[in-house]
Chain A
Amino acid sequence: MSSIKAVDPLLKVENLTTRFDISNGFFSGISGRVHAVENISFKIDEAETLSLVGESGCGKSTTGRSILRLVPINKGKIYFKDKEITNLGSVEMRNYRKNIQMIFQDPFSSLNPRMSIGNAIAEPMKVHGLHEGKELQEKVYNLLDDVGLSPKHSKRYPHEFSGGQRQRICIARALGLNPKLIIADEAVSALDVTIKSQIINLMMKLQENYKIAFLFISHDVAVVERISHRVAVMYLGRIVEIGSRKQIFENPNHAYTKKLLNAVPIADPRLRKQNKREISNEEVPTPIKPKNYEPPLFKMNEIESGHFVYQEI
């Protein structure tokens, strides 16, 4: 799958920085900034899954939102195929969002409770003028079929479905626009374990059939290991290590990556004793900084082909 090196990557993010101002009230001005995403660069090829993994507050979701420009970005450039989309106006951007769809953690809150799921799936296609009338109906049925539901469900409402099924509906809705990239923001985190693996399998099947690329945002290291071609580890708004799945999991280099992998519980009681950790109470420091804070300079060392590790200079 990495044979398509010569062409432009599907998505290229260069030096993306997203910060949020904190103000202490109407008159007092800005008192500090949340450095949510701090100078990160990566690319995603066609039909590739790049996972962003890290703990809460490390900026993984903000990265996803920045790519769709759902939050204003401070610095950096975002390219989709060969075109820069960083400065597109809202109308042009809407057209681009057709190509980049998003699935969220809680499917119930992203579905309108008073809209039948058939209509919910059809709506984005109507908005973008892709299909009409009978053809649209047909397309909705196909999508339901694609995600493992049946056309007879199209008249039902979100509350009639289980969590896993609702996530299938959200996936169907995203698929309707034939996106090239789907940003899955903790898409399986709220699901029970048996359902989780089914949804992951579904996403992988769809990737194979439709050549969709995924930006898979998750804190669940074990799931990330299954689904990813490449992995980026985020810590405090930065990518501290990025490389192929094999490189990250079998040859972790950055101290934080090692700590993260070591913290994941192993589902085998026989391996328990070999896995002794030091009792620690270290916490992730806050990304909130005073307003004149200058982030440290850094470089990404390439330790293997395609495997980069963050280093401050």
Chain B
Amino acid sequence: MNENCIVDIENLRVHFPVNKELVKAVEGVSFSINQGETLAVVGESGSGKSVTAMSILRLNDMAGAEMPTGSIKLRLKNNEVVDMFETSEKDLVNIRGNHVSMIFQEPMTCLNPVLTVGLQISEAIMIHQGLNEEKARDKTLEMLNLVRIPDPKKVINSYPHHFSGGMRQRVMIAMALSCRPQLLIADEPTTALDVTIQAQIIDLIKLLQNEIGMAVLFITHDMAVVAEVADRVIVMKNGKIVEQGDVDTIFHNPDHPYTKKLINAVPQIGSMKGKDFPEMFPESEIVEILP
């Protein structure tokens, strides 16, 4: 594995047995993520992007996936390289949240409604860094400051339902970054948010990435968000990678017809400049498959 490579995935396959049939969610995916870069995985619903991301942390095992095949190599903070498929459950616990952490689409379902957010953030800090309660609390305050939550001293004793969606996502980010991970996996982190809040969260993730120097795996279905955040892009369809490349090439010189269609279909703000009347989208050739 190359020096500044953090994750190296080769020929990953993940299948789920559903009603005696095999759903081939991921079919032979290979890619790598370098230190400090943002890799966006984009595709329509069901293209396998989330399953790919979950596999990195071996979260699919519990969802009833058949033992995935392929290899996922991960570089830890101490430069040691581990094979995720050969790591014991105990070591996985140490890796999750410490070396690699993850944020999800719906922060409310990820937060425990009966614990204060301060407690939830400091839990990870105490487990992974072995700090005592007092020191973990200081660290928690620092994290809340880092994600620009106003009045952290008050917030630390609040419960998740006190927050709006955007603030909850900030809490999730604070929790995810509390151990300064090498890699942040962000699975549709802004999809459930309003557009002004989405802009705030995207700006925040980019800013923190610079401050901490982590790599980000950004999963989204929104090509416009990809254009905002990504250094490199992977386009997925039906469990396979159809194209990957740097963001400029993907948007301005796409190779695969599916990528082209995906980009042409993005409603672009400003595309109607100077026009007096509404206009249809350029007719895309994708025809829905009839059942």
Query: Which A residues fall within an 8 A CB radius of B?
Result: 1, 49, 55-56, 153, 156, 160-162, 164-165, 192-198, 200-201, 204-205, 219-223, 225-229, 245-246, 249-250, 259-272, 277, 279-281, 283-284
Do B278 and A229 have beta carbons less than 8 Å apart?
yes
> CA A284 – CA B291 in complex, angstroms?
43
B204 surroundings in chain A (CB, below 8 A): 279
Interface status of B261 (Cβ within 8 A of chain A): yes
Most A CB within 10 A of own CB, among B199, B227, B278, B284: B278
Can you list 13 A-B pairs with a CB-CB distance of less than 8 A? A162-B291, A194-B262, A195-B288, A198-B288, A246-B275, A249-B270, A265-B224, A267-B266, A268-B227, A269-B228, A269-B248, A277-B203, A281-B150
Q: Given that A201-B283, A226-B281, A269-B247 are known contacts, is A221 also in contact with B266, CB under 8 Å in the complex?
A: no
Known: A269-B230, A281-B149. A193 touches B278 (CB 8 A): no
In contact, A283 and B223 (Cβ under 8 angstroms): no
The one of B221, B222, B275 in contact with A265, judged by C-beta atoms closer than 8 angstroms, is B222
Chain A residue at minimum C-beta to C-beta distance from B201: A281
- The reply to whether B197 and A204 contact each other, CB–CB distance below 8 Å, is no
Contact assessment for B280 and A201 in the assembled complex, using a CB-CB cutoff below 8 Å: yes
Q: Which residue of A lies closest to B147 (CB)?
A: A281
Most chain A CB atoms below 10 A, which of B170, B288, B290: B288
B196 located at the interface, meaning its Cβ lies under 8 Å from any Cβ of chain A in the complex? yes
Please name all residues of chain A whose beta carbon is closer than 8 Å to the beta carbon of B284 when the two chains form the complex.
194, 197-198
Whether B195 pairs with A260 at a CB distance below 8 angstroms is: yes
With A226-B281, A227-B278, A272-B227 in contact, do A55 and B44 touch (Cβ < 8 Å)? no
Q: How far is the CA of A250 from the CA of B275 in the complex (A)?
A: 10
Q: Which of A49, A223, A260 contacts B267 (CB 8 A)?
A: A223
Given A267-B266, A281-B149: A222 in contact with B283 (beta carbons within 8 A): no
Contact of B167 with A192 in the complex, beta carbons under 8 Å: no
- Residue in B closest to A223 when the chains form the complex, CB atoms: B267
- The answer to whether B194 and A204 have CB atoms under 8 Å apart is no
Q: Within the complex, what minimum Cβ distance (angstroms) separates A10 from chain B?
A: 17
Of B164, B194, B271, B273, most A-chain CB atoms within 10 Å: B194
Q: Nearest-CB distance from B18 to chain A (Å)? A: 15
A-B interface, 3 closest residue pairs, ranked by CB to CB distance from nearest: A222-B267, A263-B199, A265-B224
Interface residues of B (CB under 8 A from A): 44-45, 148-150, 164, 166-167, 170, 194-200, 202-204, 207, 221-228, 230, 247-248, 251-252, 261-263, 265-281, 283-284, 286, 288-291
Known: A193-B222, A265-B228. 20 other contacts (CB 8 A): A164-B288, A192-B44, A194-B44, A194-B284, A196-B265, A198-B281, A205-B280, A221-B269, A249-B269, A249-B272, A250-B273, A250-B274, A261-B269, A263-B199, A264-B199, A265-B222, A267-B266, A277-B203, A281-B150, A284-B194
Q: A49-B278, A198-B284, A279-B203 are in contact. Are A270 and B248 (CB under 8 A)?
A: yes
With contact pairs A261-B269, A265-B222, A265-B225 given, residues A226 and B279 touching in the complex (Cβ less than 8 Å): yes
Q: Are A221 and B195 in contact (CB under 8 A)?
A: yes
A56 lies within 8 A of B194 (CB): yes
Minimum distance in angstroms from A181 CB to a CB of chain B: 16
Chain B residues closer than 8 Å to A226, beta-carbon distance: 267, 271-272, 278-281
Structural contact, B251 and A156, CB atoms closer than 8 A: no
A2 to chain B, nearest CB (A): 10
A161 touching B248, Cβ below 8 Å: no
> Which residues of chain B are within 8 angstroms of A260 by Cβ–Cβ distance?
195-196
- The CA-CA distance from A229 to B277 in the complex, in Å, is 6
> Could you say which of A49, A246, A259 contacts B276, with CB atoms under 8 Å apart?
A246
Residues of chain B lying within 8 A (CB to CB) of residue A267: 223-224, 226-227, 251, 263, 266, 268
Distance of A288 from chain B, by nearest CB (Å): 13
Q: How far is the CA of A261 from the CA of B278 in the complex (A)?
A: 18
Distance of A259 Cα from B196 Cα, bound (Å): 7
Closest to A279 in B: B203
Task: List residues of chain A with CB within 8 A of the CB of B225.
Answer: 265
Chain A residues with Cβ under 8 A from B222's Cβ?
193, 265
**B274 neighbours in A (Cβ, 8 Å):** 246, 250
Q: Is the CB of A1 within 8 A of B277?
A: yes
Q: Are B291 and A160 in contact (CB under 8 A)?
A: yes
B278 & A194 in contact (Cβ 8 Å cutoff): no
Cβ–Cβ contact B200 & A194, under 8 A = no
Given A194-B286, A201-B280, answer yes or no on A281-B44 (Cβ-Cβ < 8 Å).
no
Query: Contacting B280 at CB < 8 Å: which of A156, A200, A281?
Result: A200
- Asked whether, in the complex, the Cβ of A225 is within 8 Å of the Cβ of B272, the reply is yes
B248-A193 in contact (CB<8A): no
Instruction: Provide the residues of chain A in CB contact with B228, threshold 8 Å.
Output: 265-266, 269, 272
Give the contacting residue for A193; candidates B44, B271, B276, B280; CB below 8 A.
B44
Is the Cβ of A270 less than 8 Å from the Cβ of B252?
yes
Determine how close the nearest CB of chain B comes to the CB of A163; give it in whole angstroms: 8
State whether B267 touches A266 (Cβ < 8 A). no
Q: Are B267 and A192 in contact (CB under 8 A)?
A: no
Q: Are B227 and A266 in contact (CB under 8 A)?
A: yes
Would A222 and B268 be within 8 Å (CB), given that A194-B262, A269-B227, A281-B200 are in contact?
Answer: yes
Give the Cβ gap from A267 to chain B, nearest Cβ, in Å.
4
Among B199, B223, B230, find the residue whose CB has the most chain A CB atoms closer than 10 A: B199
Report the nearest B residue to A244, measured CB to CB.
B276
Q: Tell me whether A193 and B272 are in contact (CB under 8 A).
A: no
Q: Closest Cβ of chain B: how far from A78's Cβ, in Å?
A: 25
A193 touches B223 (CB 8 A): yes
Residues of B within 8 A of A165 (CB): 288, 290
